[in-house]
Amino acid sequence: MPGPCKWHDGLERLFLDAVEGLSVQLGTNVTVRMTDAAGYYTLARSPLGPEACKRVSVALEERHCWNRLLDIDCFSADGRAITRQSLGVPERRCLVCDNPHAACIQAKRHPIEQVTHAAIRLIEAYGRVAEKKHIKYLSIENIRGMD
């Protein structure tokens, strides 16, 4: 969640649903699910290789607009981060203008209030659709057609 406040009604549901859906996709058992000053996070181990994990993670991050709030990091056994760039995958997009998010952050193109408001709109959109569809968890298979 961008901005100084990492908590918003509905964010926990999005996070928990995403963790459950990702766990199914990756064949993982979630080992740690916690919160800290940076917000919600989870740690898990997958039988898939790190590059396959990152590809599945990117697919989930990009499946729906609200999934853009997810930031799923994947690491190799030796601790090396698997990046979108290393897989030839486009970088994450800004929540406000759809340009590469790193460029917007570095240039401070948008006031934090604007970015936070964009994130809140995505959380609320997820809540409306999740309630309407009665989805149990997010996965690539069970959210097709929810746009």
The pLDDT assigned to 20 comes to 83
Q: Is 95 exposed, middle or buried (0-12, 13-18, 19+ CB in 10 A)?
A: buried
Q: How many angstroms separate the CA atoms of 61 and 70, rounded?
A: 6
Is residue 145 scored above 60 in pLDDT? no
CA dihedral 88→26→47→15, nearest 10 degrees, is: 100
Task: Check: CB of residue 16 under 8 Å from CB of residue 130.
Answer: no
pLDDT band at residue 134 under the 50/70/90 scheme? low
pLDDT band at residue 146 under the 50/70/90 scheme? very low
